[in-house]
Amino acid sequence: MTYSPAKRSTVTIDAPKADLSGLPSRYVHPGELDILIHLIRSVDAHTVVEFGCNNGRTAAAVLRNVPGMERYVGVDVPPGYNFTCKVQAKEIPPAPGELASADERFELLLRDRGTFDLDADDLPACDVVFVDADHSRAAVLNDRELAKAIVRPGGMIVYHDDNGLEVVDVSKALDDLAARGANIVHIAGTWLAFERV
């Protein structure tokens, strides 16, 4: 977790502890959900869209900890999806969104090719998009363009798995975007990065 990108700025964020009781911690490092929730609260978010909602843990945490949340849309893929990054092969949950499904503010969109099967008209205008789906370069670039089309001015895009590891393409894709002028900031001590819209 000591990754620091050479081509992008890094900030430290001390976020208050969120109520994560009863939620699993797989695929997230200590403090990351606290920081994500802090970022979402910082833009007074009422609608969040997550690309790659997995079992709904992040959705459940956000819905529990962000006052004023009205809608949370999780996008995922059905069993059988073939990730480009082989490290993700076992990340498709048997019941996508299950941890948030009892909350009436949560909506699950399953698509055979995930966000590649969506355009901006399929999603609500929102305050934050959390990108944590297919970690291939093509998917990260696709997800950013889709996010930019639906995030309101003053909102943000948050990326997970910005870790510099060769098994995923997230950091390389974010570095390339930054080289073309995107202001994508890495959060020290995490695998998170964000970009204000």
Residue with tokens 């009205």: 70
For the segment 78-88, what is each residue's pLDDT rounded down to a tens digit?
887 777 766 67
pTM, to two decimals: 0.95
Stronger pLDDT, 37 or 1, i.e. the higher one: 37
| pLDDT higher than 80, residue 50 | yes
Instruction: Report the 10 Å Cβ neighbour count for 50.
Output: 28
Domain boundaries, the chain: 10-15+28-196
Give the DSSP letter string of 61-117.
HHHHHSTT--EEEEEE--TT---SSGGGTT---SSTTTTTTTSTTEEEEE-TTGGGG
Q: What is the token pair recorded at 116?
A: 């590649």
- pLDDT confidence bin for 70, thresholds 50/70/90: very high
- pLDDT confidence bin for 115, thresholds 50/70/90: very high
E strand or H helix that includes residue 179:
helix 170-179
Mean pLDDT of 156-184: 96
User: Using CA atoms, how far apart are residues 96 and 79, in angstroms rounded to an integer?
Assistant: 9
Mean pLDDT of 144-168: 97
Handedness of CA 101, 105, 142, 11 (dihedral sign): negative
pLDDT at residue 163, rounded to an integer = 96
- HSE, CB side, 13 Å, CA atoms: give it for residue 192: 28
- pLDDT confidence bin for 89, thresholds 50/70/90: low
| pLDDT higher than 90, residue 177 | yes
For the segment 28-44, what is each residue's pLDDT rounded down to a tens digit?
899 999 999 999 999 99
Mean pLDDT of 4-30: 93
User: Using CA atoms, how far apart are residues 58 and 97, in angstroms rounded to an integer?
Assistant: 9
Average per-residue pLDDT in the chain? 94
Mean pLDDT of 98-114: 96
Mean pLDDT of 149-164: 97
Task: Give the CATH H-level superfamily of domain 10-15+28-196.
Answer: Vaccinia Virus protein VP39 (3.40.50.150)
pLDDT at residue 83, rounded to an integer = 74
| pLDDT higher than 90, residue 1 | no
Give the contacts of 67 (CB within 8 A, at least 6 positions apart). Answer: 41
